[in-house]
Structure 1
């Protein structure tokens, strides 16, 4: 079953903020060289979506460059640019990198009710509007983490031929299973907002929710369905804390005992679940003959000290899909 929707219109791009920047956006713009702010007006949602963008500095590399889109987790924000080396890593290899900072608690999906139409925006309106402005070559990949790890898979599945590569980091691809629904509702509850699974996707066993469940739609990641080869990278840590999560050795909040406790307890519990989900995803993709690369880390919890590993580790998988050397 597919869900009829009008063809996307190109997003309107502007490089001047229409609202005050967040503290994190201001920090990135002041501390990460080569980053610029942009907004994309989404016709489907009738709102501006905030982004940070970096392009290759070398004019030769900038011309006809591919693009990677980075989605953040539950609270949106600037994590990929603030806590990883994504900007330098991708731009030095001749890739435009686009990080959406809007979309907190949205699951980056088309809601069954309400204004949120993130699938339409991310897979249609945004590349149609932004990539001509960047002079991009039409090759693109998408990477999601935590909440958006599921979104990245679903976006690729429901928009065949749109993406050349997809990476799903520390997420759970089974959204309509009992565990998946519980996880989604816990995520919404943690935001202290009156939002439920049903608000986003309706009845967990209904056609709409099942359409947006990546685990139930693995055939849509096949080369046959996509009409081309799609590079796929999935990963998760074990949930067992290592140096990346401890008080004096983590990079995100060094010396912060309370944060380290959160990394070990809350972050550990989340990634134990994500690890189980990702192993199941790996097994089912293997059984279906869907080519992919899976990386399981023996240590690590659900935080940016672990998420950052995905940037270099996914590159050998994504690079050829973007027309680049996996160096």
Structure 2
């Protein structure tokens, strides 16, 4: 890979993550590891034995030294998973889970790096939790083994939904002195994940947001994009390993677009605040400044083209979701940003815009 393509990798990764699509209301259980077990949480130790790539998220947070690396262990996946956590400045606070994109948060491509989450949320009275793992995973429970399981280290079939909803919240939130109220935000690839998790776990989340995402996973176009995301750039993983045949019950149950009826108040227990956004694929001020600074015209063209194309796709997907929500009578805040590519210059703008909606659910 050339230097130009290497520098463009993160942008393309975030972008390709965006285009995912829709389906049904069938509930099917995936095979799991240690059923009923909870995560082991170490707030006093960093995660051991990470590869250089896996530990590349580590950085010095000069302005927010209160950000912690938390080492957790998932029984269902037999896997150590690092988190970055910003504890709330007040006791008995709610918890906001922020999911990363296709690369899982390598280098500074995570919410506390380029995502500016600490700057946006440090004074909001909320615990902020960012898993820095899960590349290409859709943060879902996979049906079949894949190379993403880390089999060389004894890893089991990926069970990210189990980890995020059954294993992690109890012990982590207890250690933080949290109050049991939580919300979830996904961007790009994980916007799909966030919506799936809310639909699959009625009453578990009090608010949710999907930023620059897609929500159809079973149409020809949707499964095609899923296959590209899980394989990017050369993992060898497939959508069929994750959710089985596209016309199967498990795949249909993981198509959030066609399950928006599960967001109704009568299913969730109350009408939870929902926020979805996409930009119009025109560079915002930060992007317009950053693109020429790349210097290499080829790199600039690649970054702009990828960012514009994928955010245009996200815009279409968000409009598609808005139509489905309207048809089912599910209220949501839909925000179309006047400028922005599919990049870390746009995602923080979307998170800031989402905060009032999230706060309604977190604080009532």
Tell whether 2:187 aligns with 1:145.
yes
- Looking at structure 2, the residues matched to 100 and 241 of structure 1 have their Cα atoms a distance apart, in angstroms, of 28
Tell whether 2:94 aligns with 1:66.
yes
Partner of 1:220: 262
With structure 1 as the length reference, what TM-score do the two structures score? 0.91
- Looking at structure 1, the residues matched to 201 and 284 of structure 2 have their Cα atoms a distance apart, in angstroms, of 38
- Looking at structure 2, the residues matched to 94 and 254 of structure 1 have their Cα atoms a distance apart, in angstroms, of 38
Is the contact between residue 40 and residue 74 of structure 2 (CA under 8 Å) also seen in structure 1?
A: yes
Ranges in structure 1 where 5+ consecutive residues have no aligned partner = none
Q: Secondary structure of 2:354's match?
A: helix
Partner of 2:10: none
Larger RCO, structure (CA 8 Å, separation 6 or more): 2
Alignment partner of 2:293 out of 243, 248, 255: 255
C-alpha distance 54-287 of structure 1, shift in aligned 2 (>3 A)? same
| Ranges of 4+ aligned residues in structure 1 off by more than 6 Å | none
- Cα deviation for residue 254 of structure 1 reads 7.5
Tell me the alpha carbon deviations over residues 203-238 of structure 1, each in whole angstroms, 9 at most, x when there is no partner. 111110010110111111111111122111000112
Partner of 1:3: 28
Tell whether 2:83 aligns with 1:51.
yes
- Looking at structure 2, the residues matched to 186 and 265 of structure 1 have their Cα atoms a distance apart, in angstroms, of 18
- Looking at structure 2, the residues matched to 300 and 137 of structure 1 have their Cα atoms a distance apart, in angstroms, of 35
Partner of 1:178: 220
Alignment partner of 1:97 out of 107, 128, 151: 128
- Looking at structure 1, the residues matched to 83 and 70 of structure 2 have their Cα atoms a distance apart, in angstroms, of 5
C-alpha distance 90-243 of structure 1, shift in aligned 2 (>3 A)? closer
Is the contact between residue 263 and residue 301 of structure 1 (CA under 8 Å) also seen in structure 2?
A: no
Query: RMSD across aligned C-alpha pairs, in angstroms?
Result: 1.9
Moved more, 282-291 or 236-245: 236-245
C-alpha distance 221-28 of structure 1, shift in aligned 2 (>3 A)? farther
Alignment partner of 1:299 out of 339, 347, 360: 339
Q: Between Structure 1 and Structure 2, how many residues are aligned?
A: 316
Is the contact between residue 9 and residue 128 of structure 1 (CA under 8 Å) also seen in structure 2?
A: no
With structure 2 as the length reference, what TM-score do the two structures score? 0.82
C-alpha distance 303-113 of structure 1, shift in aligned 2 (>3 A)? same
Partner of 1:276: 316
Alignment partner of 1:162 out of 198, 204, 208: 204
Q: Secondary structure of 1:25's match?
A: coil
Moved more, 88-97 or 65-74: 88-97
Alignment partner of 1:122 out of 158, 164, 188: 164
Partner of 2:19: none
Tell whether 2:313 aligns with 1:313.
no
Tell whether 2:232 aligns with 1:190.
yes
Is the contact between residue 39 and residue 75 of structure 2 (CA under 8 Å) also seen in structure 1?
A: yes
Partner of 1:239: 281
Is the contact between residue 238 and residue 301 of structure 1 (CA under 8 Å) also seen in structure 2?
A: yes
Is the contact between residue 160 and residue 226 of structure 1 (CA under 8 Å) also seen in structure 2?
A: yes
- Looking at structure 2, the residues matched to 107 and 76 of structure 1 have their Cα atoms a distance apart, in angstroms, of 10
Partner of 2:40: 12
Alignment partner of 2:306 out of 266, 273, 285: 266
- Looking at structure 1, the residues matched to 36 and 62 of structure 2 have their Cα atoms a distance apart, in angstroms, of 34
